[in-house]
Amino acid sequence: MLDQKPNKTEDQHTDLLRQFHLRPTRQRLALADLLFNGPCRHVSAEQLRLETKNKGINMSLATIYNTLNQFTKVGLLHEINLDNNVTYFDTNTDHHHHFFDPKTNKLIDIPRDAISLNALPDAPDGHDVERVDVIIRLS
């Protein structure tokens, strides 16, 4: 009965951050709210700055970068780089693939098993395969 929705998700994010040994500060909770509530997202730091600004949350761009990098380091986010030399952060950290529309710089997720990769070549010399990324560029 005391389980009110607004507090519930906030509490969930508090727990989430604690799990990764990140203090649940106001700024981190605000970003977690924007990133991990709705469906999966692909966002840049600048986009998040606008979103926090529109919600009346005061947060410097440096803190947004620092926070996104921390989230990435602990595995809450995944980094993607495209043509325009802007870093995008993917809230879907599962192994999966992407459509990319160069006109809008938008990414669309493709589930991992929607693409079957056969006959992958062996990794060279002393290396192992860490991940395979497929990017289907649209026109």
Partner DNA sequence: ATAGCTGCAAATGCTTTGCAAGGCC
Partner DNA sequence: GGCCTTGCAAAGCATTTGCAGCTAT
In the complex, the residues that contact DNA under the rule CB under 7 A are: 18, 21-28, 44-46, 58-63, 65-67, 69, 85-87
Q: Between 11 and 94, name the residue whose CB sits nearer to DNA.
A: 11
Q: Using an 8 Å Cβ cutoff, are 77 and 71 in contact?
A: yes
To the nearest whole angstrom, how small is the minimum distance from the Cβ of residue 111 to its own copies?
9
DSSP 89: E
To the nearest whole angstrom, how small is the minimum distance from the Cβ of residue 101 to its own copies?
7
| Rounded CA separation 105/107 (Å) | 7
Q: From residue 88 to residue 127, what is the string marking binding to its own copies with x (rule CB under 8 A)?
A: -----------x-x------x-x---xxxxxxxx-xx--x
